[in-house]
Amino acid sequence: MTTDLDLRNLHAELMKLNIFHGLALEDLIKLPARGLTHDHVLLGDRAWKGRRLLARVPRLARRDMTPEEALFLQAESFRRAAPSRHTPELHWLLDPCPRLPNGALVVDAVEGKPAQLPRDLREIAETLASVHRLPVPEKTAPLPRVVRPIEALVGLIEAQAEFVPALVAGRDARAILEEECKWARSFAAEHGETPLPPTLVLTDTHPGNYVLQKDGRAIFVDMEKTQYGSPAIDLAHASLHTSVTWDPDVSGEVSRDDVVEFYETYMTAVPPSLARSLEPWLLPFRRLTWLRTTTWGCKWYAENEAQVSRSGDGQRERMLKGVLERLRAMVRRETMERVRGEWLGPDRLELE
């Protein structure tokens, strides 16, 4: 269920916090829609205790947990990643209530510029390293912990692959995905039960989810899918062709050499033991992560295309129609062949 935000309701809940008593309703600035799952509202054009703040309001109710559980999980994601100094700090939690059915989080308003590629890939690698270096607590709940990531990833791919016909019409393009799914099943049969040491991971790490600061840091801002799992997936999703071309605000081209440099930057920024444990898995996880992303696109298209295509011409509706166009581009045969060149053919990507 999607919830449309009424700023009056958000303001009423903010007024319950003493610090915001000087905040007027007309001070709230709803930012243009960028992502699929949250509204973002700037809490006035001023600082609060030295920081500009942002309300992050979930639009979607999760089917697998209550709004209270979902909001607490998101809050804990911010708390766990905060020591990295490369994610926004959480300041307040607004509990779910009739005015805000999914609640809200008040976090740092991160100001800066979108990533420019390939220049900022190095900073993105440093950001991921800063998160992956964090110690893993003995008890990781409530954040999910994925000990056998290959098995989990292929299971997700298989579930999403049922939706391929909704988006992929061409026979050649479907054949590519069938071949890749066949490889994934074979790879999982051989390696699926291999336990890989988890770290804190950010999951949706494509370059559009970073804001570049004046001090050079790339701040990761989309914390909703944080969990403990394989850092190789974060690295892949930050640098695959389908990721670096996803966000329309991210400019630039990424070459094969740029990808290699991205991995080299990361590997020198993490402990040697982590780097050694990742080396054999870097390329296979690029292949699996690309397949996860592509089949997710098919699922999202199947579930949303009809409604989005009939929607109006507001800013959010235009953004969603842009998502449809990018998903169609993602499954073109030439796009998929370009990505597969990393692991098939004479010019394979060398990451070890």
Determine which of 114-118, 124-128, 204-208, 314-318 has the lowest per-residue pLDDT on average.
314-318
Higher per-residue pLDDT: 36 or 72: 72
Residue 4 has pLDDT above 80, yes or no: no
**Contacts of residue 8, Cβ cutoff 8 Å, sequence gap at least 6:** 25
Placement of tokens 């991995």 in the chain: 263
Q: Residue 151's closest CA among 181, 183, 179, 185?
A: 185
List pLDDT tens digits, range 251-274: 899 999 999 999 999 999 999 999
Q: Categorize the per-residue pLDDT at 314 as very low, low, confident or very high, splitting at 50, 70 and 90.
A: confident
Strand 199-201 with 104-108, pairing = unpaired
For each of the domains in the chain, give its residue range(s) and CATH number, in order of start: 7-108 (3.30.200), 121-340 (3.90.1200.10)
Distance separating alpha carbons of residues 341 and 343, to the nearest angstrom: 5
Residue 1 has pLDDT above 70, yes or no: no
Q: Which two tokens stand for residue 95?
A: 């509990």
Give the pair of three-digit tokens for residue 83: 């020591």
| pLDDT of res. 352 | 73
pLDDT at 25 over 90: yes
SS3 assignment, position 21? coil
Average pLDDT of the residues of the chain? 95
Residue 2 pLDDT greater than 70, yes or no: no
pLDDT band at 9 (very low <50, low <70, confident <90, very high): very high
Digit-coded pLDDT (tens) for 283-306: 999 999 999 999 999 999 999 999
Q: Which of the four pLDDT bands, split at 50, 70 and 90, describes residue 6? A: very high
Mean per-residue pLDDT for 198-210? Answer: 98
From the list 282, 277, 326, the residue with the least C-alpha distance to 300 is: 326
60: how many CB neighbours lie within 10 A of its CB?
Answer: 14
| For residue 154, pLDDT beyond 60 | yes
Which two structure tokens, joined as six digits, stand for 56?
Answer: 């992050």
Q: Quick one: pLDDT band at residue 310, thresholds 50, 70, 90?
A: confident
Question: What does the pLDDT look like over 225-234, one tens digit per residue?
Answer: 999 999 999 9
Q: What is the mean pLDDT of residues 88-108?
A: 97
Copy the structure tokens of residue 120: 């900022």
* Residues 43-58, mean pLDDT to the nearest whole number: 94
Stretch 115-132: mean pLDDT: 98
Task: Give Rg (Cα) of the chain.
Answer: 20
What proportion of the chain, given as a percentage, has pLDDT over 90? 88
Least Cα distance to 153 among 272, 271, 288, 18 occurs for 288
Confidence of residue 139 (pLDDT cuts 50, 70, 90): very high
Share of the chain residues as helix, strand and coil, in percent rounded to the nearest 5: 50, 15, 40
Q: Which residues touch 138 (CB under 8 Å, ≥6 apart)?
A: none
Instruction: Over range 170-182, report the average pLDDT.
Output: 97
Confidence of residue 345 (pLDDT cuts 50, 70, 90): confident
* Average pLDDT for 2-24: 92
